[in-house]
Amino acid sequence: MMDPKMTMEVPPQVREFAKKSVDQAEKAISSFIESATKSIATVPGPMTEVSKQVLALTEASLKAQFEQARKLMQAKSINEVMLLQSEFMRHQFGAATDQFKKMTNSMLSAGKNATDKTIT
């Protein structure tokens, strides 16, 4: 049996308010990402591809965070919150490692391309 102190009683109105807040924040961030993507496309340069990748990775990370917020809002106990957060952190660490590898490869490739262009 779960310890009564470990349960969370959150009124439905508070959950609904939180859901709307997360939805609004996600909409605002999506609008910002869309504008940033358009800005990057208008100014081509040697780092354009890297910028696009950084923006895509940022967008993916933010989407994961918004989804996590939605899951946490539905949690019924402190144990569930801890489990959700632990899984999220494990996943995010793995994603960050993959992103770092991709970005490192992109930066090295962009640097090599820039060097090749200055040599020829």
Residue 73 · residue 84 · CB < 8 Å: no
pLDDT by residue (tens digit) across 68-118?
999 999 998 899 999 999 999 999 999 989 888 887 887 787 777 767 777
The Cα 89–Cα 44 span in angstroms is 35
Report yes or no on 95 lying in a domain. Answer: yes
pTM of the predicted model as reported, rounded to 2 decimal places: 0.72
**Beta-bridge mates of residue 70:** none
pLDDT by residue (tens digit) across 8-66?
777 889 889 999 999 999 999 999 999 999 998 888 777 788 888 889 989 999 999 99
Report yes or no on 102 lying in a domain. Answer: yes
Domain count, the chain: 1
Report yes or no on 111 lying in a domain. Answer: yes
The Cα 18–Cα 110 span in angstroms is 42
Report yes or no on 20 lying in a domain. Answer: yes
